[in-house]
Amino acid sequence: RLDPAIADVCASQGAGLILMHSRGSFAEMATYDHAQYNDVVAETVRELVGSVERAESRGVERDRIVIDPGLGFSKLPEQNYRVVAGLPVLASLGLPVMLGPSRKRFLGKGTGQPADERDHATAALCVAARSLGASLFRVHAVRLVKEALDIAVEIESA
The count of other CB atoms within 10 Å of the CB of residue 117 is 13
Q: Specify the DSSP element, H or E, that contains 85.
A: helix 77-85
Q: Higher-confidence residue: 28 or 77?
A: 77
pLDDT at 45: 98
pLDDT (average), residues 4-14: 93
C-alpha dihedral over 26, 120, 66, 74, to 10 degrees?
Answer: -30
* Residues in the chain, total: 158
Cα angle, residue 104 at apex, residues 33 and 53 outer, rounded to 5°: 65
**In angstroms, rounded to a whole number, what is the distance separating the alpha carbons of residues 45 and 38?**
13
**In angstroms, rounded to a whole number, what is the distance separating the alpha carbons of residues 35 and 22?**
9
Q: Where are the beta strands (DSSP E) in the chain?
A: 17-20, 65-68, 98-99, 136-137
**In angstroms, rounded to a whole number, what is the distance separating the alpha carbons of residues 79 and 23?**
14
pLDDT (average), residues 108-134: 96
For residue 27, the domain's CATH number is 3.20.20.20
Chain segment 33-50, per-residue pLDDT in tens = 889 999 999 999 999 999
Chain segment 49-61, per-residue pLDDT in tens = 999 999 999 999 9
Which amino acid type is present at position 87? L
What's the predicted TM-score (pTM) here?
0.94
Q: Higher-confidence residue: 30 or 98?
A: 98
Number of domains in the chain: 1
- The whole domain housing 82 covers 5-157
pLDDT at 123: 98
Q: Higher-confidence residue: 144 or 1?
A: 144
